[in-house]
Amino acid sequence: MSLAIDILTLFPRMLDGFLAESILGKGIGAGHLQVNVHDLRTWSTDKHRTADDRPFGGGAGMVMKPEPVFAAIEQLQRPGCRRIYLTPDGTPLSPGLAQELAVQSHLIFLSGHYEGIDQRIRDTIIDQEISIGDYVLTNGTLAAAVVIDALARFIPGVLGEEKSLTHESFTSKLLDFPQYTRPAEFRGMSVPEVLLSGNHAEIEKWRHARQVEKTRLVRPDLLK
Ligand code: ADE
């Protein structure tokens, strides 16, 4: 069973390159996941294709209207679907959350815009709210892309080598060790001797020590 994803956004073209390129593009091509991007204005009912309006109670900015969002989700949702709203005040994205999303059968991502969306959307047809970090983007479309990229790597077959999953940062709670490739000497900088030694036990030991060193320096919180 492969994962189907629908993305609802006012800026669908922001995702063109993202979906076509790289490992994700290949995963879609190979049928490991299916991603459909929808312009929310498709579900606007007035002739100006409005999707936002002024906030009740006053204040700056515009608020996304409930009608197009309800209509879109009601049309797209299938039984067992998880409906996700991207927002800086949501649950922080983590590897565990990405892994949990990767085993679902159907996800709908709603990208918010302007100063927010009508609260009735969040109260009734959203199952989960996710933030990709403590900063505010102009809209949630890139945040949806980040969540999809992070979860796609947990779908079997998307990453060529299973090994690249187990060895990397955050699966082990340690940051990555440094990598080198040929040439062994470049502009006077040499690759650490141990990596050229062929001694796998020593290489593992060296890599682990570098991971601990880097984590202590950059992310001491991960060692607690
Ligand atoms: N929309 C705007 N900023 C966001 C963030 N940090 N995470 C998720 N959605 C967002």
Nearest CA to ligand 1 atom 1: 140
What residue ranges line ligand 1, CB within 6 angstroms?
86-88, 112, 131-133, 135-137, 140, 143
Share of the chain above pLDDT 90, in %: 83
CA 24 to chain centre: 11
Tens-place pLDDT, residues 161-182: 655 565 566 767 899 999 999 9
Nearest CA to ligand 1 atom 7: 131
Tens-place pLDDT, residues 86-114: 999 999 999 999 999 999 999 999 998 76
Separation of 211 CA from ligand 1 center, angstroms?
30
Phi first, then psi, for residue 123 (nearest 5°) are -75, -25
Q: Give me the mean pLDDT over the 41-64 stretch.
A: 93
Map out the domains of the chain with their CATH numbers.
3-152 (3.40.1280.10), 169-223 (1.10.1270.20)
The answer, yes or no, to whether the previous bond of 68 is cis (omega within 30 of 0) is: no
Ligand 1 atom nearest to CA at 136: 3
Nearest CA to ligand 1 atom 2: 137
Measured distance CA(213)–CA(201) in Å, rounded: 19
What pLDDT is attached to residue 112?
Answer: 86
Ligand 1 atom nearest to CA at 134: 6
Nearest-5° Cα angle at 222, 219 to 224: 120
pLDDT band at 212 (very low <50, low <70, confident <90, very high): very high
Residues sharing a CB contact under 8 Å with residue 96, sequence separation 6 or more, in sequence order: none
CB 3 within 8 Å of CB 155: yes
Q: Give me the mean pLDDT over the 35-51 stretch.
A: 94
Q: How many CB atoms lie within 10 A of CB 24?
A: 20
3-state secondary structure of 84: strand
User: CB burial class (10 A; 0-12, 13-18, 19+) of residue 169?
Assistant: middle
Report residue 79 as tokens.
Answer: 């039984």
Amino acid identity at 217: L
pTM: 0.92
